[in-house]
């Protein structure tokens, strides 16, 4: 019996999208500017919602229809994938025919991870933020959520949505440099530890990335349980971008130098640790602009995620690319994985100098993680009061984060940006996602009949 079960994605409704996004913004996405506006007024309106350039709004009704189908499909698949997940130790569900429904420990939507979209605006090819919507859903269904992001671009939209909230703790590993999109994510800790941004150096390879990611995951998970309000994490969301692979054509030669081995290693570690700690895992996609290498990465990482239900499956992957209609696209190596690179060999820099830059950047990254640990251990609630009974927080005027980044020393300013409305009641709005067998239309899941290995 196989572990992977594919589903047809279910579309999100306007009600689902409104759980986070501004109604006026959604109306503009769906219908375009009012016809009564002049061309200049229409352009000004679109610009105010950042629906220009890389997130241009189609000018025709048919184009708007295609776009709306796309955004509802992306968001719907991520929410539905989250709804398929079942808590460890739960009573097995039964479908309408009385048949047992298998427990789902890991669910994936590689079309998701649109982490740049904001409450009232688009950005970075992202029109709606499915990652926020899925994390909201999981917070209501399971409890406290850890959101991790290893796309090379900062997860600015997700961080902004949950800023100051201990219900969804956000951790982003990314590239931060002047002129590099989105221009946010400076190294540091926000809201007393509820946000953690760790930039990694240009040219970072698997040899540094994989052990550091494992250290970040293990440290955040362990320290949170013993020092942070709200208790242990009850669910994990991991967004994986393929744009950190060596030679990504959009990021350019000054990006990261990862291979598919490094990305898969991070996903496998997350899946194994979630299995050990008995928390469900949702895996989302991200950027990746070499289509063949992105296909490699997401395919291999699908198997890596199955380590959460069937340990050892990743090691059994064949070395060669799958044969079939697109086999020729994997040339000239025709290998399944991309090749690891040597530390320091990027951007035309000599190896010795490049290696020293990577080593220095990783030392800085370890310092940021150590700073987060000290802040959380020394200041339990980070300036926020956690309502144990209601499961919510109230902001302290001295404890909210400034718009221009975060500080390792925890000295934070004030932010007046609206946050995600993570209400405690489910309201029934997501009921159409709550039964996977009644609505067999979600992304992809890895499941087992019991807490033991799947057959």
The pair of structure tokens assigned to 303 is: 């198997």
**Nearest CA-CA partner of 3 in 108, 88, 145:** 108
- Tracing tokens 């309201």 back to the chain, one arrives at 427
- For residues 34 and 420, give the distance between their C-alpha atoms in angstroms, rounded to a whole number: 27
Sign of CA dihedral 12, 14, 18, 20: positive
Of the residues 16, 80, 115, 116, only one is catalytic, namely: 116
Helix, strand or coil, per DSSP, at residue 121: strand
Task: Tell me the H-state helices in 142-277.
Answer: 156-162, 206-227, 260-277
- Tracing tokens 């979209």 back to the chain, one arrives at 117
Helix, strand or coil, per DSSP, at residue 335: strand
Task: Examine residue 205 and say whether the peptide bond preceding it is cis (omega within 30 degrees of 0).
Answer: no
Sign of CA dihedral 295, 200, 187, 349: negative
Chain centroid to CA 247: 22
The pair of structure tokens assigned to 10 is: 């279910």
- Distances in whole angstroms, Cα of residue 21 to Cα of each of 337, 417, 421, 422: 38, 13, 9, 12
* Structural contact between residues 270 and 148, judged by C-beta atoms closer than 8 angstroms: yes
| Cβ neighbours of residue 451 closer than 8 Å, sequence gap 6 or more | 88, 89, 103, 278
Centre a 10 Å sphere on the Cβ of residue 342 and count the other Cβ atoms it contains.
13
**153 classed as catalytic:** no
For residue 235, list its beta bridge partners: 145
- For residues 175 and 225, give the distance between their C-alpha atoms in angstroms, rounded to a whole number: 28
Residues noted as catalytic: 116
């Amino acid at each position: 019996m196989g572990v992977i079960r594919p589903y047809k994605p279910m579309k999100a409704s306007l009600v689902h999208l409104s759980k986070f996004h501004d109604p006026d913004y959604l109306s503009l996405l769906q219908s375009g500017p009012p016809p009564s506006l002049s061309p200049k007024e229409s352009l000004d309106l679109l610009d105010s919602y950042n629906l220009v350039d890389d997130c241009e709004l189609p000018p025709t009704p048919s184009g708007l229809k295609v776009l709306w189908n796309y955004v509802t499909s992306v968001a719907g698949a991520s929410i539905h994938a989250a709804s398929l997940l079942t808590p460890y130790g739960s009573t097995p569900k039964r479908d309408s025919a009385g048949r047992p429904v298998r427990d789902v420990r890991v669910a994936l939507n590689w079309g998701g991870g649109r982490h740049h979209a904001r409450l009232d605006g688009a950005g970075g090819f992202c029109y709606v933020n499915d990652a926020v919507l899925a994390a909201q859903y999981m917070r209501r269904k399971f409890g406290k959520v850890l959101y991790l992001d290893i796309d090379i671009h900062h997860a600015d939209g997700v961080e902004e949505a949950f800023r100051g909230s201990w219900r969804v703790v956000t951790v982003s590993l990314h590239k931060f440099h002047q002129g590099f999109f989105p221009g946010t994510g400076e190294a540091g800790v926000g809201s007393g530890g509820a946000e953690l941004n760790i930039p990694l150096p240009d040219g970072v390879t698997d040899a540094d990335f994989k052990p550091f990611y494992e250290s970040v995951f293990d440290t955040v998970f362990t320290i949170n349980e013993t020092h942070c309000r709200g208790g242990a994490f009850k669910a994990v969301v991991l967004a994986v971008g393929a744009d950190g692979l060596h030679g990504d054509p959009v990021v350019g030669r000054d990006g990261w130098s990862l291979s598919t081995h490094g990305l898969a290693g991070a996903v496998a570690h997350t899946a194994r640790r979630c299995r050990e700690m008995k928390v469900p895992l949702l895996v989302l996609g991200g950027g990746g602009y070499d289509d063949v290498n992105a296909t490699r990465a997401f395919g291999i990482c699908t198997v890596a995620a199955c380590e959460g239900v069937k340990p050892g499956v990743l090691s059994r992957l064949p070395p060669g690319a799958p044969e079939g209609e697109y086999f020729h696209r994997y040339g000239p190596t025709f290998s399944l994985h991309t090749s690891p690179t040597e530390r320091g060999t990027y951007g035309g820099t000599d190896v010795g100098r490049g290696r020293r830059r990577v080593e220095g950047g990783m030392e800085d990254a370890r310092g940021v993680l150590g700073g987060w640990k000290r802040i959380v251990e020394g200041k339990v609630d980070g300036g926020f009061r956690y309502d144990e009974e209601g499961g919510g927080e109230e902001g302290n005027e001295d404890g909210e984060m400034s718009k221009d980044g975060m500080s390792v020393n925890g000295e934070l300013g004030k932010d007046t940006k609206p946050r995600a409305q993570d209400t405690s009641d489910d309201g029934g709005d997501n009921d159409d996602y709550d039964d996977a067998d009644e609505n067999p239309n979600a992304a992809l899941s890895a499941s087992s009949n019991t807490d033991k290995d799947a057959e």
